[in-house]
Amino acid sequence: MSWEFMHMANPNEEAARDSIIYSYKHGFSGFAAKLTKSQAKKIAELPDVVHVIPNHLYKLHTTRSWDYLGLSTSFPPTNLLHEANMGDGIIIGVLDTGIWPESEAYNDKGLGPIPSKWKGHCQSSTDFNPAKACNRKLIGAKYFIKGLEAELGMPIIKDPSFLTKEFASPRDRNGHGTHTSSTAGGSFAPNASYHGLAYGTVRGGAPKARLAMYKVCWDWPNGGCNFADIIKGIDEAIHDGVDILSLSLGTNTPQFADVDMHSIGFPSFHAVMNGITVVCSGGNDGPIPQTVEDASPWIITVAASSIDRSFPTLITLGNNRTFTGQSLYTGKETGFISIVYQESSDFEDNRYCDTLNTNDTWAAGKVVLCFLVKGDENNLGTALQVVQVVGGLGLIVAKNPTRTLDYYASDFPSIAVSFDIGAQLLDYIRYSRNPQVKLSPTRTHIGKPVSTHIASFSSRGPNSVAPAILKPDIAAPGVNILAAVRPAETLYEFLSGTSMAAPHVSGIVALLKSLHPHWSPAAIKSALVTTAWQTDPHSGEPIIAEGNTDKIADPFDFGGGLVNANAAKDPGLVYDMGFSDYVFSYLCPMGYNTSAIGRIINGFVTCANKMPSLVDFNVPSLTIPSLRKTVTVKRTVTNVGPVNSKYKAIIEPPLGITIKVKPETLIFNSSTKKISFTLTISTSHKYTTGNYFGSLTWTDGVHKVRSPISVRTELPEPAG
Indicate which residues carry an active-site annotation: 96, 176, 499
Task: Please tell me the distance from the alpha carbon of residue 147 to that of residue 95, in angstroms, as a whole number.
Answer: 15
Q: Return the axis-axis angle of helices 265-273 and 227-240, rounded to nearest 10°.
A: 10
CA distance 638 to 572: 9
Give CA separation, 20 vs 3, 11, 41, 48, 163, in Å: 8, 14, 16, 18, 25
Q: How far is CA 398 from CA 162, 310, 420, 458, in A?
A: 38, 17, 8, 20
Give the residues across from 224 on adjacent strands: 218
Around Cβ 447, how many Cβ atoms within 10 Å?
11
Query: Which CA distances in Å does 608 have to 585, 587, 594?
Result: 10, 12, 10
The SS3 assignment for 693 reads: strand
Q: Nearest CA to 396 among 426, 375, 370, 430?
A: 370
Residue 202: Cβ-neighbour burial (10 angstroms; 0-12, 13-18, 19+):
buried
| φ and ψ of 83, to 5 deg | -60, -35
| Angle subtended at Cα 168 by Cα 164 and Cα 169, rounded to the nearest 5 degrees | 135
Strands in 657-662's sheet, in edge-to-edge order, are 573-574, 630-639, 674-683, 657-662
Report CA-CA distances (Å) from 649 to 349, 472, 498, 521, 704: 55, 24, 33, 25, 10
Helices (H), 164-304: 176-185, 227-240, 265-273
Contact assessment for residue 184 and residue 481, using Cβ atoms and an 8 Å cutoff: no
| Radius of gyration for the chain, computed over Cα atoms and rounded to the nearest angstrom | 26
Tell me how far apart the alpha carbons of residues 317 and 425 are, in angstroms, rounded to a whole number. Answer: 9
Task: Give dist(CA 395, CA 443) in Å, integer.
Answer: 18
CA distances from 22 to 262, 287, 362, 633 (A): 17, 38, 57, 43
Using alpha carbons, list the distances in angstroms from residue 383 to 372, 377, 386, 388, 440: 10, 10, 5, 9, 21
Beta bridge partners of 189: 202
Q: Is the distance from CB of 194 to CB of 493 less than 8 angstroms?
A: yes
CA distance linking residue 709 with residue 620, whole number of Å: 10
Question: Whole-angstrom distance between the N-terminal and C-terminal Cα of the chain?
Answer: 56
Task: Determine the Cα–Cα distance for residues 12 and 27; give it in Å rounded to an integer.
Answer: 29
492 strand-pairing partners: 484
Give the whole-angstrom CA distance, residue 642 versus residue 572: 8
CA angle 285, 226, 374 (to 5 degrees): 15
